[in-house]
Chains A and B, each alone.
Chain A
């Protein structure tokens, strides 16, 4: 039949598209196999919440902080272990621990393939960035 080459070509294209993860993985095997290394803070061993919670839900914590701080004026966060933090990520999180957002926030976001955090559309962190780098 005259249409068989067309069907075979179409099918090949389809298989190629569906198996994208496989051939892409084979071509970028190292990148695919590499574990994601995030530089952890030297000074602190414990984040404001357990690491497992921070991995899955940090965005919700941050949103919660913002709402409470901006709308209710509550600026203190009492962590699960009793420690108290300022609900001010720029001055706490990003100054005390995660000083390089490119290496921390964006690296992980890039890996997971989600948009970069949009905090800095509004917040100015140039002073933090320069302090951190010095």
Chain B
């Protein structure tokens, strides 16, 4: 089973951290070195990957057009799905990045007694959207541990997220959503025959790291309680590059921290780079104005063609016989002949 290796890897990480956290040297390694290293790898790696894409030219303007072009003034163009201006392409990208426009189109092809039936299928879209948005909310919410004083908007967001005030401490909506979405996405990868077939072992790694991070975070909040003030002091120490010798960091916190660090460090080496890549996709981020405005290919080079002169030379007799006009001077004498 393809999911086994990544699952064992994540479990091994957890076991290792839970044990190493007891030794003082282990604690320094896990609580200080690992997060710094992971953050550095993430930031440098991410920028490197994007810069490497940026260095490769886009020789042709190849947007995938998903609606009516802008042509004649009386035909209404689909300015979002087939933008003809940079601003339109910007809005198309915004829709793509914020609302997963393309995934929203998804449908499912099914054969029903020799008939092809295309049914709506928005679950993937919903699962993906739920996962990504709740992840964003959770990441932002974690800023409360890194910022002092805590900005008002952050407190506001926290209040909204915990609005239902279920359980003590309050259960965050985003936590429920991300966990459900991750479980759905994992189950889909395992259960859907097509998706299972195309999945690589490494596809499960990201999922398990995310599931582990979310689960350890929830356990920390509800089961193995931790001293939030101590964690905030520790986090602030990291942020100002003056790490404070942590006062009793619970193993569950170290596990959470390590899983998140592992995810961050793995990020630039993985498909998770789709986060940066989606912005650069030439089928989406370019305006469909090819005939309106010439696109320049920086490496456009001369090629061997068959020129008119060569062509006429080859077919001159036939052109003359057919009384078709010709260019070359010597042809005139042949006509006289």
**Direct A–B contact present (CB less than 8 angstroms):** yes
Chain A nearest CB, measured from B159 CB (Å): 5
- CB B37 to nearest CB in A, in angstroms, measures 15
Report yes or no: B226 in contact with A4, Cβ–Cβ below 8 A.
no
Residue of B nearest to A24 (CB): B147
Tell me the complex Cα distance, A45–B226, Å. Answer: 23
Given A1-B57, A1-B58, A52-B227, do A113 and B155 touch, yes or no (CB 8 Å)?
Answer: yes
Interface locus among B25-33, B202-210, B233-241? B233-241
Within 8 A of B (CB), among A1-46: 1, 3-4, 7-8, 10-11, 14-15, 18-22, 24-26, 28-29, 31-36
Choose one: B46, B168, B230; the contact of A59 (CB below 8 Å): B168
B280 within 8 A of A: yes
Q: Which residues of B contact A14 (CB under 8 A)?
A: 46, 276
Whether the pair A56, B227 counts as a contact (CB closer than 8 A) is yes
Provide the B49-63 mask, 1 if CB < 8 A to any CB of A, else 0.
011011001100000
**Contact A111–B239 (Cβ < 8 Å):** no
Provide the residues of chain A in CB contact with B144, threshold 8 Å: 112-114
Query: In the complex the two chains form, what is the Cα distance from A14 to B277 in whole Å?
Result: 13
Which chain A residues lie closer than 8 Å to B165 at the CB level?
118
Number of interface residues of B (CB under 8 A): 49
* Whole-angstrom CA separation of A20 from B154 in the bound complex: 13
Tell me if B193 counts as interface (CB < 8 A to partner A): no
Q: Is B114 an interface residue (CB 8 A)?
A: no
Inter-chain contacts of A26 with B (CB < 8 A): 240
With both beta carbons as reference points, the residue of chain A lying nearest to B226 in the complex is identified as A56
B72 in contact (CB, < 8 A)? no
Size bin of chain A's contact surface: 35 or more
CB-contacts of A24-82 with B (<8 A): 24-26, 28-29, 31-36, 52, 55-57, 59-60, 63
- Complex alpha-carbon distance, A36 and B238, angstroms: 16
A7 to B58, CA, bound (A): 13
Q: B233 and A36: CB pair below 8 A?
A: yes
State whether the Cβ of B173 lies closer than 8 Å to any Cβ in chain A.
no
Q: How far is the CB of A29 from chain B (nearest CB, A)?
A: 6
User: B229 contacts A36, CB within 8 Å?
Assistant: yes
A33 and B242 within 8 A (CB): yes
CB of A108 within 8 Å of the partner chain? yes
Tell me if B148 and A11 are in contact (CB < 8 A): no
Residues of B within 8 A of A3 (CB): 54, 58, 285
How many Å lie between the Cα of A47 and that of B145 in the bound state?
26
When each residue 265-298 of chain B gets 1 if its CB lies under 8 Å from chain A and 0 otherwise, what string results? Answer: 0000000000010011000010000000000001
**Residue in chain B with minimal CB distance to A4:** B54
Q: How far is the CA of A14 from the CA of B47 in the complex (A)?
A: 9
B40 CB, min distance to chain A CBs, angstroms: 11
Q: How far is the CB of B149 from chain A (nearest CB, A)?
A: 6
A110 at interface (Cβ–Cβ under 8 A)? yes
| Whole-angstrom CA separation of A104 from B241 in the bound complex | 29
Contact B227–A59 (Cβ < 8 Å): no
Nearest CB on A from B263, distance (A): 14
Please indicate the chain A residues that have their CB under 8 angstroms from the CB of B150 in the complex.
110-111, 113
Closest 6 pairs between A and B when the two form their complex, measured CB to CB: A113-B144, A21-B146, A56-B225, A25-B239, A21-B239, A113-B150
Residue pairs across A and B with Cβ atoms less than 8 A apart, 5 shown, are: A7-B51, A7-B53, A20-B143, A113-B144, A113-B154
Using a CB–CB cutoff of 8 Å, the interface residues on chain A facing chain B are 1, 3-4, 7-8, 10-11, 14-15, 18-22, 24-26, 28-29, 31-36, 52, 55-57, 59-60, 63, 108, 110-115, 118
| A-binding residues in B (CB < 8 A) | 42-43, 46-47, 50-51, 53-54, 57-58, 143-150, 154-155, 158-159, 162, 165, 168-170, 225-230, 232-233, 235-242, 248, 276, 279-280, 285, 298
19 further A-B contacts with Cβ under 8 Å, apart from A11-B51, A60-B225, are A1-B57, A1-B58, A1-B298, A7-B51, A7-B280, A10-B279, A18-B42, A21-B146, A21-B239, A22-B239, A25-B147, A28-B149, A55-B229, A56-B227, A57-B225, A59-B168, A60-B168, A113-B145, A113-B155
